[in-house]
Amino acid sequence: MTLKFFNTLGREKKEFSPIDKSGKNVSMYSCGPTVYNYVHIGNLRAYIFVDLLKRYLKFKGYNVKHVMNLTDVDDKTIRDSQKEEKSLKEFTEFYSRAFMEDIKALNILLPDVMPKATDHIKEMVELIERMKAQGKTYEKNGTTYCKITEVDGYGELACLDCQQLKANADGRLNDADEYEKDDARDFALWKAYEEKDGDVFWETSLGKGRPGWHIECSAMSTKHLGEQFDIHTGGVDLIFPHHTNEIAQTESATGKKWVNYWLHNAHLIVNGEKMSKSLGNFYTLRDLTTKGYDPRSIRFELLKTHYRVQLDFREDELKQIPDTLNKFDEVISKLNSAKSGETNIDCKKFLLEFEEEMDDDLNISGGLAVVFDMIKEINKSIDSDGIKNKEEVIDALKKLDSVLGIMSFDAEEIPEEIVSLADRRLAAKKERDWAAADKLRDEIKSKGYEILDDKEGYRLKKA
Contact residues toward Zn ion (CB under 5 A) are: 31, 217
Q: Find the shortest distance in angstroms from Cβ 368 to Zn ion.
A: 30
Report the C-alpha gap between 43 and 56 in whole angstroms. Answer: 20
Whole-angstrom Cα Rg for the chain: 27
> Which residue lies nearer to Zn ion by CB, 47 or 328?
47
Question: Least distance in Å: CB of 43 to Zn ion?
Answer: 13
CB of 392 to Zn ion, least distance (A): 43
Beta bridge partners of 68: 30
Looking at the Cβ atoms of 31 and 259, the one nearer to Zn ion is 31
In angstroms, give the least distance from the CB of 265 to Zn ion: 14
Distances from the Cα of 402 to the Cαs of 63, 407, 416, in angstroms?
Answer: 14, 9, 32
Is the CB of 239 or the CB of 345 nearer to Zn ion? 239
CB-nearer residue toward Zn ion: 31 or 44: 31
Look at residue 267 and give its three-state secondary structure.
Answer: coil
Pairing mode, strands 207-211 and 12-15:
unpaired
Measure the CA–CA gap between 96 and 39, rounded to whole angstroms: 10
Q: How far is the CB of 16 from Zn ion (least distance, A)?
A: 21
Spatial neighbors of 76 by CB under 8 A, at least 6 apart, are 34, 36
At its nearest, how many Å lie between Zn ion and the CB of residue 234?
6
* Torsion angle of C-alpha atoms 182, 187, 190, 193, degrees rounded to 10: 70
- Considering the complex, what minimum distance in angstroms separates the CB of residue 272 from Zn ion? 29
Using the minimum distance from each CB to Zn ion, give the nearer residue, 36 or 293.
36
Distance between CA atoms of residues 400 and 349, nearest Å: 13
Instruction: Name the minimum Å distance from CB 264 to Zn ion.
Output: 12
What is the C-alpha to C-alpha distance for residues 39 and 102, in angstroms, rounded to an integer?
8
Q: Which is nearer to Zn ion, 244 or 381 (CB)?
A: 244
Q: How far is the CB of 69 from Zn ion (least distance, A)?
A: 7
Residue with Cβ nearer Zn ion (185 or 232) = 232
Backbone angles phi, psi at 184, to 5 degrees: -60, -25
In angstroms, the CA 370 to CA 349 distance is: 10
Helix H or strand E segment including 26: strand 25-30
Do residues 147 and 137 make contact, with C-beta atoms less than 8 angstroms apart? yes
Which one, 116 or 429, has the nearer CB to Zn ion? 116
The values of phi and psi at residue 246, to 5°, are -60, -45
Q: For residues 115-128, b (16+ Cβ closer than 10 Å) or e, as one string? A: bbbbebbebbbbbb
> Minimum distance between the CB of residue 217 and Zn ion, rounded to whole angstroms?
3
Which of residues 189 and 440 has its CB atom nearest to Zn ion in the complex?
189
Please identify, using beta-carbon distances, which residue of 242 and 349 lies nearer to Zn ion: 242
Amino acid sitting at position 387: I
3-state SS track over 99-143: HHHHHHHCCCCCCCECCEHHHHHHHHHHHHHHHHHCCCEEEECCE
Under a CB-based contact definition with an 8 Å cutoff, are residues 267 and 310 in contact?
yes
d(CA 104, CA 218): 26
Sign of CA dihedral 381, 383, 385, 390: positive
Say what angle helices 315-337 and 295-303 make with each other, to 10 degrees. Answer: 110
Compute the least distance from the CB of residue 441 to Zn ion, in Å. Answer: 55
- Nearer to Zn ion (CB atom), residue 265 or residue 297: 265
